[in-house]
Amino acid sequence: MKKTIVALAVVAAFSNTAFADNANVTVYGKAFLTIDQKGSDAANTASQLRVNTNASRFGVKGDEDLGEGLKAIYQYEVEMDADGSTGLGLGKTRNSGLGIGGDFGQVMFGIWDTPYKVAHNKIELFDNTTSWSAIHTIGKSAGKDYNTRQKNMVQYWSPKFGGMQVAAMFSPDEAQKPAIGAAPANNRSIFSMSGTFDQDDIYASIAYESRNDAGVKDPVAPATANTGFNGTDTALRAVARYNLADFWIGAMVESIKTNNSAT
């Protein structure tokens, strides 16, 4: 009952104030188009020439003062098909949600990049968009991708203490659970977090993510599990960058544990 009251209170705050004659609304976008050519010396591999829309986007965001140091926050952002490849104009949902902020930090519900994913952005050369982006190599293990924009999530960002900030995200498994007495089902919830220092010429971040019931438990899964996937896969990455006048140098180390079988 308490959860229902909180949800209704947030919705009411937005219905009455946030979208009504609000000067704190920002309409924004980014058109990021490139012409790309790539090839390979590998046998039976064709070259490719394309005009690419990359991470072009369109969005609306804003906030509304709720009093007593609190503010309501909202953002709705969609992918923009700037080169007409899909013919859809506006495509999939990007970072979007509804939240609340204050001296404690900020909490957002919706769909958003995980703390694990964004930890590497300071050393990304291609804006996570082209075939040469780091995310085509890092964050991948046994067919699983940790560079995700996670849906159905709640994420918290702490206030910045000097150059320090902490972020944590949880995404529950929304699948309906079996009745009492039935064989247990998987609970594929995801937890992601990061600790970041970003000040002056130094950036450093450590990020961790765990995916419950995503891998096979070692040595064997219990017979009561529906699919046998009752182990936790984990990923850890550390990122650093140092600015040298007009140049910078960056590095990352990553470790991912994925269990595909009982062996």
Q: What span, in angstroms and rounded, lies between the C-alpha atoms of 73 and 67?
A: 13
Looking at residue 12, its pLDDT comes to: 43
Looking at residue 14, its pLDDT comes to: 47
Label the pairing between strands 70-80 and 34-38: unpaired
Residues counted in the chain: 263
Angle at 9 between CA 2 and CA 151, to 5 degrees: 85
Looking at residue 127, its pLDDT comes to: 73
- The answer to whether the bond into 184 is cis (omega within 30° of 0) is no
Global pTM reads 0.80
- Report the first-to-last Cα separation within the chain, whole angstroms: 46
| pLDDT beneath 50, residues of the chain | 1-20, 221, 223-226
pLDDT tens track for 236-252: 999 999 999 999 999 99
Q: Which residue has the tokens 């072009």?
A: 56
Looking at residue 197, its pLDDT comes to: 97
Q: What span, in angstroms and rounded, lies between the C-alpha atoms of 65 and 68?
A: 9
**Do the Cβ atoms of 245 and 151 come closer than 8 Å?**
no
**Do the Cβ atoms of 90 and 75 come closer than 8 Å?**
no
Looking at residue 182, its pLDDT comes to: 63
